[in-house]
Amino acid sequence: MAVYFHEEDLPEGVLAPGPIAIDTETMGLITPRDRLCLVQISDGGGDEHLVRFAKDSNFAAPNLKAVLADPSRLKLYHFARFDLAAIEHYLGVEASPVFCTKIASKMTRTYTDRHGLKNLVQELLGEDISKQQQSSDWGADQINEAQREYAASDVRFLHRLKAVLEVRLEREGRTQMAQACFDFLPTRARLDLAGWAEHDIFSHM
């Protein structure tokens, strides 16, 4: 298992075919204001790839964009809504189709309100991950080893979590409903970018 660090683009041909786990690190939670700093990718084979973008980046990244926009590759996320918005806003591609472990957790683990990645990894996989670097400065000139390990861990477990959560969705008869939610996520991300982040357009009010 290794963590590979790249500047401005993903090298060609480093990912095996099939689903890929995706995550992003930004300067904050307001996508148009808080720039994209890092995209993490794993094909589930044991390696993680981190692509860092500088402050003055033009986000060209042709290899990364080709992978993210590939409609034949399922993309695994934890809280896809945020990552999809960041990727579309800065890289200009829709990174779908989608499986979101947070949504799958909320639809199956209804006995708890703890749906963070750390909680899922602990309960479903029996492993522990550190969230110590969650609020660190991702726009710094240098990304330290602790930040790299944190970023890599955000995609390291998503393939295994998907396998467990798919079984639970099927068991509870919620697979089709979950898929409909996943299919809507790119549109939900665009609504966020367009100004409807805090407003439920389906509500009566």
Host H or E run for residue 169:
helix 158-171
Region 3-196: CATH code? 3.30.420.10
Strand, helix or coil at 36? strand
Q: Determine the distance from the C-alpha atom of residue 135 to the mean position of all C-alpha atoms in its chain, rounded to a whole number.
A: 16
Per-residue pLDDT at 133 exceeds 80: no
Per-residue pLDDT at 173 exceeds 70: yes
Per-residue pLDDT at 204 exceeds 80: yes
Strand, helix or coil at 105? helix
CA nearest 182: which of 56, 91, 97?
A: 97
> What's residue 67's pLDDT?
98
Alpha helices in 9-156 (DSSP H): 62-69, 80-91, 101-108, 117-120, 145-156
Per-residue pLDDT at 132 exceeds 80: no
Host H or E run for residue 48:
strand 48-52
Q: Mean pLDDT, to the nearest integer, of 36-53?
A: 98
Q: Return the domain boundaries, the chain.
A: 3-196
- Each residue's pLDDT tens digit, 11-43: 999 999 999 999 999 999 999 999 999 999 999
Using CB atoms within 10 A of its CB, is residue 166 exposed (0-12), middle (13-18) or buried (19+)? middle
CA nearest 42: which of 89, 80, 10, 87?
A: 10
**Sign, CA torsion 77/82/84/86:** negative
Per-residue pLDDT at 65 exceeds 70: yes
> What's residue 60's pLDDT?
98
Average pLDDT, the chain: 96
- Tokens 């986000």 -> residue: 59
Per-residue pLDDT at 86 exceeds 90: yes
